[in-house]
Amino acid sequence: MKPKFTMTRRAVVQSTRTLKFITCAACMVLVAGLSIRASASCSDSLSAMATAAALLHIQSGSQTSPMQQSSATSNDNSVHTSIVGLWHVQFIVGGQTIQEAYQVWNAGGTEVHNPNIDPRSGAVCLGAWKKVAPQGYQLAHRVWWYDTNGVFLGTIHLSEMLTLGDGGNTHNGSFTSDFYDPSGNFLFSVAGNATGERISVDDQRQASRP
């Protein structure tokens, strides 16, 4: 008589989650391979974020991306009631910074994102923002995604939800990068924490270098 094989509901759920994670990691590893051949454009900056997140997942074996609270403090004693201005920002996944950038938030509701990557082939992203709470802001990017051969890979949607702190001199919140194929089908998502520190006119500090 053949032995019966049974699986508990918990085991089924765990197996399903593991399969989903493996699929997601495989997609991000694919992006890693693509970004190796890609130039330093805005979309490649976001692809690099996915690559770093994938490597962190693989190295740690984690199935989640823990959020890390901002530890940034500003030397600017001014009180700011708006996010408008120049910022040094960091994107954090699994407790590690996977990208830093300078961001300019304009009074008209637009934003310019300049990541710390090779700028020779273009490294500036454009976004739009709106205020959603007394100290809360929402940011949206829409990025065309190409490889170095000019092949259209799809689009990347970067979104951020941020809250001002320390008199408007720091912000903390979350980011999500959603990747879509050329037909608009969702591929995978990379999520984590976004922190920022306002840069004042008198601030002479420099951003860290990789």
CATH number of the domain to which 161 belongs: 2.40.128.120
Q: How far apart are CA 119 and CA 179, in angstroms?
A: 22
Count the Cβ atoms, other than its own, within 10 Å of residue 18: 11
- For 54-84, the three-class secondary structure string (H helix, E strand, C coil) is HHHHHHHCCCCCCCCCCCCCCCCCCCCCCCC
∠ Cα 111 87 178 (to 5°): 55
3 domain residue, yes or no: no
144 domain residue, yes or no: yes
- Residue pair 95/105 in contact by the 8 Å Cβ criterion: no
Task: Give, for all 210 residues of the chain, the pLDDT tens digit.
Answer: 544 444 455 544 444 444 444 444 444 444 444 333 333 456 666 666 666 666 655 555 544 443 333 344 445 567 899 999 999 999 998 888 888 999 999 999 999 998 887 776 566 788 999 999 999 999 998 888 887 788 898 998 999 999 999 999 999 999 999 999 999 999 999 899 999 999 998 776 655 555
The values of phi and psi at residue 159, to 5°, are: -130, 150
Give the chain's domain count.
1
Strand-pair category, 110-115 with 186-199: unpaired
Task: Tokens 């408008």: give the residue.
Answer: 84
Closest residue by Cα to residue 47 from 4, 105, 98: 98
Which residue range forms the structural domain that includes residue 114? Answer: 11-199
Q: What is the pTM of this model?
A: 0.68
152 domain residue, yes or no: yes
123 domain residue, yes or no: yes
6 domain residue, yes or no: no
210 domain residue, yes or no: no
**Distances from the Cα of 184 to the Cα of 20, 153, 191, angstroms:** 20, 10, 19
208 domain residue, yes or no: no
In this predicted model, what pLDDT tens digit does every residue of 151-207 receive, in sequence order?
A: 898 998 999 999 999 999 999 999 999 999 999 999 999 899 999 999 998 776 655
134 domain residue, yes or no: yes
Length of the chain: 210
Count the Cβ atoms, other than its own, within 10 Å of residue 145: 23
